[in-house]
Amino acid sequence: MKSLLVTRPKKDSIKIKEYLNKLGFNVYIEPMFSIKYLAAKINLKDFNWIISTSQHSIIALSKITKNRNINIITVGNNTMNIAQELGFTSVKSLNGNINDVISYIRNHNQANILYIRGKEVTHNLKKSFHYYKNFQEVILYNTIDRKYFSNRCYNALFQNKILGILLYSSRTAKILIELIKKHNIQDKIGGITIYAMSNKIADIAKTARWKIIKVSDQPTNKSLLSLIQ
């Protein structure tokens, strides 16, 4: 049976696995990092908008407040859907990327904005808006990189069982390539197709020699899965 590797956290990968199973694929789930949620005290009443660029920041927010009526702006629809599933009632998606977030903040520079984020971010919004006194940020979670492949995943790669890998973030792509080098199996990936959610992720993936790299038209799970035949 054809096998695919999904690199998202296990909880996020279950529905993806079920979908791919129906298409006839065997699916390995191998998260490239784990999440540690952090405690924080925030007076949310001080802010007009909460900006979130990742689902983990929304999950972290849900753990530190019972308030579900706060105004939330998400960079994409996936994060918006997570927020709504967690009970937040006033959520708007920009359905875009970090540049859309930057434009939104510039167009609402009179509002009090709180950016909720992880310790590691691709783009430092606080640095971009350090001159906005009404723009603040708080770190709500930390990521812990995977140090080694699981035996099951390593064996699948070593035995050339994996035909495709789904990549959802630049960080995931970097960790994956680092692990491939650490396990010295660079010669085992030449037959693997990479399914990347964005061009930025694809650019990182290009530092290794895959069979081919396919890029999603939109930064959504639905668009990414549509690449898989």
Q: How far apart are CA 219 and CA 224, in angstroms?
A: 8
Phi-psi region of 134 (alpha: psi -120 to 50; beta: other; left: phi over 0): alpha
Same domain, 191 and 151: yes
Contact 183, 214 (CB under 8 A): no
Q: Note the maximum CA span of the chain.
A: 57
What pLDDT, on the 0 to 100 scale, is given for residue 209?
96
Q: Are residues 96 and 43 in the same domain?
A: yes
12 and 60 together in one domain: no
- The one-character DSSP state at 48 is S
Q: Are residues 125 and 155 in the same domain?
A: no
Contact 40, 17 (CB under 8 A): no
Answer yes or no: do 135 and 163 share one domain. Answer: no
Residues of the chain with pLDDT under 50: none
Per-residue pLDDT at 14:
92
- Residue after which a domain boundary falls, among 121, 144, 167: 144
My answer on whether 212 and 169 are in the same domain is: yes
SS3 content of the chain, % helix, strand, coil (to 5): 35, 25, 40
Distance of CA 84 to the CA centre of its chain: 17
Q: Do 66 and 122 lie in a common domain?
A: yes
173, 207: one domain: yes
The DSSP element (H or E) to which 212 belongs, if any, is strand 212-215
What's the confidence (pLDDT) of residue 29? 98
Whether residues 56 and 137 fall in one domain:
yes
- At which residue do the structure tokens 């952090």 appear? 38
Number of domains the chain is built from: 2
Residue 205, amino acid: A
pLDDT at 104: 80
Judgement on whether residues 23 and 89 belong to the same structural domain of the protein: no
Q: Tokens at residue 166, please?
A: 């789904």
Domain span including residue 169: 3-32+147-225
pLDDT recorded at residue 126: 67
pLDDT of res. 34:
92
Instruction: Please report, for the domain that includes residue 46, its CATH number.
Output: 3.40.50.10090
21 and 59, same domain (yes or no):
no
My answer on whether 25 and 40 are in the same domain is no
